[in-house]
Amino acid sequence: MAKLKRDERVCPFCAETIKAAATRCRFCQSEVTPLAEPELEAEPRPPLRLRTRLRSEPGPAAEAPAGGSKLAVPSLQELRSFVQQRLTLVLAALVLLAAAGVGVSWWRAEQGTSEVAPDGSLVGDDARTQVLVAAADLTKRTLSYDYKTLANNMEVARARMTPSFRKEYDATMKQVRANTEKNKIVLEAVPVSSAIIKANEQRATVLVFVNQTTTAGTGKKRNQQLTRSTLVITLTRGGGDWAMHKLTALG
């Protein structure tokens, strides 16, 4: 069998050597399927042909070494193209998915952040107005009290403070309480302006100009004093309302 030439084959019926292109065995006259295609290796569709040949030639001759090597090359190629096709599909699907992700993120950037800039700063008109109003309101609550209603005033003020500022407020009020009641002091803070220094969704620093009238005593002994202050207040928000977190008076 090793002496078989390239254009020869073995007849599956009589085992004699015949031309590969023969359609009939010249020895036993059996009809055989022609094979002869010396350039078989370069043919891109041989697996199909090989399979037909195997089906029509079930004899051991079909297992010739030449046939074996012919089988391996095209199937590797077939495998490669199969994988490449699948890879193209998978990649295309991933590209679509990623593009959809980018699209959604972009859309969110255009739409969702009309209230908040990418650096976190608050830019929405409504949100900023809320900060301005809260700053003025909380300043007024914190800095206004009347000796007649002191407990009530303090309760109202304390309701909108962070725990740390409440502690500070309590300590201060403890000191002024006796004096307030003794001298019948009424403190009235009027915020004349409120302006945002910086603000994000959780924290805002606001410049507040306040005019504070201190009235001591009643009737003829009444004594009034006006103080103009410049305050920098910090508000924080834990999801709900803004609360007073820090209050600093500028000189």
Partner 1 sequence: MNGTSVTKPFVINTVLAAVLLGLCVWLVLFAVLGGSAAPGQTSAEERAQEYSDIRRSARAETLAFLTIDHTRMDEMTARVLDGATGDFEKQYRASLKSLKDSAASQESFAKGRVAEVGLSEVDADSASVFVAAGSKVRNKGTKGEVEDRSWRIKLTMVKEDDRWLVSQLEFVG
Q: Which residues bind partner 1 (CB under 8 A)?
A: 42, 44, 77, 80-81, 84-85, 87-88, 91-92, 94-95, 98-99, 101-102, 105-106, 108-110, 112-119, 121, 123, 128, 132, 192-197, 206-207, 209, 211, 228, 230, 232, 250-251
| Calpha distance 83→141 (Å, rounded) | 73
Three-state SS string over 64-104 comes to CHHHHHHHHHHHHHHHHHHHHHHHHHHHHHHHHHHHHHHHH
Shortest spacing between CB 133 and partner 1, in angstroms: 11
Shortest spacing between CB 248 and partner 1, in angstroms: 10
Smaller CB separation from partner 1, 23 or 211 = 211
Burial class, 103, CB count within 10 angstroms (exposed 0-12 / middle 13-18 / buried 19+)? exposed
Smaller CB separation from partner 1, 30 or 211 = 211
Smaller CB separation from partner 1, 8 or 78 = 78
**Number of residues written out for the chain:** 251
Shortest spacing between CB 140 and partner 1, in angstroms: 17
Smaller CB separation from partner 1, 54 or 117 = 117
**Would the CA dihedral through 39, 42, 48, 51 be positive or negative?**
positive
Smaller CB separation from partner 1, 30 or 193 = 193
| Calpha distance 53→233 (Å, rounded) | 91
| Calpha distance 142→182 (Å, rounded) | 20
Shortest spacing between CB 212 and partner 1, in angstroms: 13
Distance from the Cα of residue 105 to its chain's centroid: 7
Smaller CB separation from partner 1, 118 or 163 = 118
Tokens representing 17 are 């050597």
Smaller CB separation from partner 1, 97 or 151 = 97
Shortest spacing between CB 102 and partner 1, in angstroms: 5
Q: Which residues contact 216 (CB under 8 A, 6 or more apart)?
A: 183, 184, 185, 186, 222, 223, 224, 225
At residue 130, what is the residue type? Q
Shortest spacing between CB 206 and partner 1, in angstroms: 6
Shortest spacing between CB 251 and partner 1, in angstroms: 6
| Calpha distance 153→181 (Å, rounded) | 13
